[in-house]
Amino acid sequence: MAPNKDPLEKVKQALDRVQEQNSTLKQQLEAGSALEAEYEKLVDKQSKTAVRYDKLLMRVGDKHSKAHRVAVDMGGGSAAQASTELINWGVRALGRWSKDGFFANNVDLLQGGPHFFLGLGLYILEMATRKDPADNNGELPSTTREVISEATKVFAQLGFNNVVRALRVRFADGKRQALDYDALLAEKQALEQKLKSLQPAQPERR
């Protein structure tokens, strides 16, 4: 017949089982709390993302509104046109001062060449330094930067147009001068022939 177990031993085993159950329950509660905390963080992150997305949609809508586009286009175009006319006025004054010098002989090209290279360089610089909205928390370029970008683009286009027009005029003038030279040469030859025909024939010597 098996000996009876000590009552204290039974109580000890029961207490160990209770402690083990309590430990398991505690771990489950801690895991549930961690999951709840992670869920709250996820919900908060989603809420912030939704708010940023809504703000971005509003900013994009404002940037593409008719009033904004008119302001940027007119502001940039007016600034480019005014600066072009002001610089060209200075170039013409410099050409008059130079008389027969370099500026006087190239005043047509100087009213376009510097504008084209300066405007193109500033436009490329502005675009190169512009931050990508994806890397800038969705921030879009400011209105000032948009106006500057538009002004430099139009400034370069006006300069290029002036250079092409100056080259076209120079080519036409050169062609006209060549035609005038050929006409003068033909007229000279005709006069020489007429002069020879008017001269009396010299008697033969014996």
Round to whole Å and give the CA distance between 145 and 128.
12
Tell me the pLDDT of the chain averaged across its residues: 77
pLDDT on residue 72: 85
Ranges of residues in the chain with a pLDDT under 70 are: 1-11, 51-63, 133-138, 173-196, 198-206
Token pair in block for residue 206: 């014996």
11-46 pLDDT, tens digit per residue, is: 677 777 777 777 777 777 777 777 777 777 777 777
Q: Is the pTM of this model over 0.75?
A: no
CB burial class (10 A; 0-12, 13-18, 19+) of residue 89?
Answer: exposed
